[in-house]
Amino acid sequence: MQSLKSVFAILSLLVWISHADAQSQAPETVTAIRAGRLIDVVAGRELTNQVILIRGTKIEAVGGNLEVPAGARLIDLSGMTVLPGLVDCHTHLADLTDLDPLKVLEKTAVEIAYATIANARATLLAGFTTVRDVGVYRAFNDVAMRDAIAKGYIVGPRMYVAGAYITITGGAGAMTGLARDIPLPVDLRYGEANSPWEVRQKVRDLVQHGADHIKVLSTGAVMTHGSNPKSVEFTPEELQAAVSEAANFGLRVEAHAHAPEGIKNAIRAGVASVEHATLIDDEGIALAKQRGTYLDMDIYDEECIQHNPDTPADFLQHDQQLGETQRQNFRKAVKAGVKMSFGTDAGICPHGTNARQFAFMVKYGMTPLQAIQAATVNAADLIGHSELFGSVTAGKSADIIAVEGDPLTDVRLLESVRFVMKEGEIYKR
């Protein structure tokens, strides 16, 4: 009996080895996409009648008269406009979509993990093949989601994650609004830090547990109880500690900031991007331009904060007049030539509606091409992976979308993406 068992074990091992071997030797799929129009976001022009050759997960060649290899899978998008997969630099995929963070207390981490799978899927199917996810209340739910997507357990965009929020105690990224004597589990107060050394310790810890970048909260927030978006939270010393410690591990820092002083503190500290940048003043705009700091301004979500019946009353109070001021400041920053990326704060508006922001970026001073560049080539530059995504170029990941019509004349066409490919695999057609 024992020997029979061993025979079975050996046999199944052999089957497994030959299967693994077959997989590694299988020829990579070659795909040819015929693109009626192709937006070249790097050169800022529209090309016609292009062929995109894809081998496995990568773009192999792009050109007007490429020969399509025999046996290649052919995808005819000759009636469509083809673009690189879009990138949202400010999402919260791994959090509940309730506007009130206290709702997190009603669910276990596992319940939240299951409940948020749909967020990732909706985002990818909307044409966003990559996101920079900038914080989660249950620390490391975002790391788990990123890895689940990468392993193919669930469907979603490529994610770059923060792991948690680094915030002062009671600050914009903290779980606030509870009685003083209610203790929180560690994952709900993970990133609280109250000195430069505590900030460094949090950065080290986040790096150790899989963060791709660091999110700091430089000022108060709209969507946090007991917070004032107009107040400064982290000091310049604490912000500098975050940037310096993150740089030791090759990571970049993004800073949430509404108040003008908090924005300038963050830019001077050397962050890669300022999130929201709501009340940025002329000095802040000049500083961002001079330092090459990206502004990641969520100028659409005001529509969802104001029109959602579930928005808590104190959040509406915080938000008063901030929305329109932010949009006017966006216009100023675009005019001044500051580097701009595309970030929506998705989660405030439903996941998968990210592209609605494009029309607002155009309304407030960008050309459609500039808005598309913010969500492709600029976003890849901000995240630090221009070699991997952000344009339809040989050598990059085959992250490709298509829309009907010409988004350079009507940017709202990006709200109805018809074709989505990520890493050579088709998710929507």
Which parts of this chain interact with Zn ion (CB under 5 A)?
A: 345
> Smaller CB distance to Zn ion: residue 88 or 345?
345
> Smaller CB distance to Zn ion: residue 137 or 419?
137
> Smaller CB distance to Zn ion: residue 168 or 401?
168
Whole-angstrom CA distances from 15 to 19, 23, 26 are: 6, 12, 16
- Alpha-carbon distance of 265 to 267, in angstroms, equals 6
- Alpha-carbon distance of 367 to 248, in angstroms, equals 38
- Alpha-carbon distance of 30 to 72, in angstroms, equals 5
Question: Where do the DSSP E strands lie in 134-270?
Answer: 158-161, 214-217, 253-257
Shortest separation between residue 275's beta carbon and Zn ion, angstroms:
6
Shortest separation between residue 221's beta carbon and Zn ion, angstroms:
8
Shortest separation between residue 254's beta carbon and Zn ion, angstroms:
10
Shortest separation between residue 345's beta carbon and Zn ion, angstroms:
4
Neighbours of 6 (CB within 10 A): 9
Shortest separation between residue 92's beta carbon and Zn ion, angstroms:
6
- Alpha-carbon distance of 386 to 379, in angstroms, equals 8
Token reading at 422: 């990520």
Shortest separation between residue 73's beta carbon and Zn ion, angstroms:
39
> Smaller CB distance to Zn ion: residue 345 or 415?
345
- Alpha-carbon distance of 367 to 388, in angstroms, equals 25
DSSP states of 302-318 as a string? HHHHHH-TTS-HHHHHH
> Smaller CB distance to Zn ion: residue 345 or 423?
345
> Smaller CB distance to Zn ion: residue 83 or 304?
304
* Three-state helix/strand/coil letters over 334-395: HHHCCCEECCCCECCCCCCCCCHHHHHHHHCCCCHHHHHHHCCHHHHHHHCCCCCCCCCCCC
> Smaller CB distance to Zn ion: residue 88 or 238?
88
Whole-angstrom CA distances from 102 to 190, 344, 386 are: 16, 22, 37
Shortest separation between residue 202's beta carbon and Zn ion, angstroms:
18
Shortest separation between residue 90's beta carbon and Zn ion, angstroms:
6
* Three-state helix/strand/coil letters over 380-392: HHHHCCCCCCCCC
> Smaller CB distance to Zn ion: residue 77 or 346?
346
Residue nearest to Zn ion (CB): 345
- Alpha-carbon distance of 391 to 244, in angstroms, equals 30
User: Comparing C-alpha atoms, which of 391, 396, 383 is closest to residue 132?
Assistant: 383
Q: Which residues contact 186 (CB under 8 A, 6 or more apart)?
A: 139
Shortest separation between residue 383's beta carbon and Zn ion, angstroms:
16
- Alpha-carbon distance of 284 to 372, in angstroms, equals 24
> Smaller CB distance to Zn ion: residue 172 or 269?
172
- Alpha-carbon distance of 214 to 197, in angstroms, equals 15
Neighbours of 230 (CB within 10 A): 16
How many CA within 13 A on the CB side of residue 72? 21
Shortest separation between residue 135's beta carbon and Zn ion, angstroms:
6
CA dihedral 340, 345, 351, 356 (to 10 degrees): -50
Shortest separation between residue 244's beta carbon and Zn ion, angstroms:
24
> Smaller CB distance to Zn ion: residue 165 or 364?
165
> Smaller CB distance to Zn ion: residue 142 or 345?
345
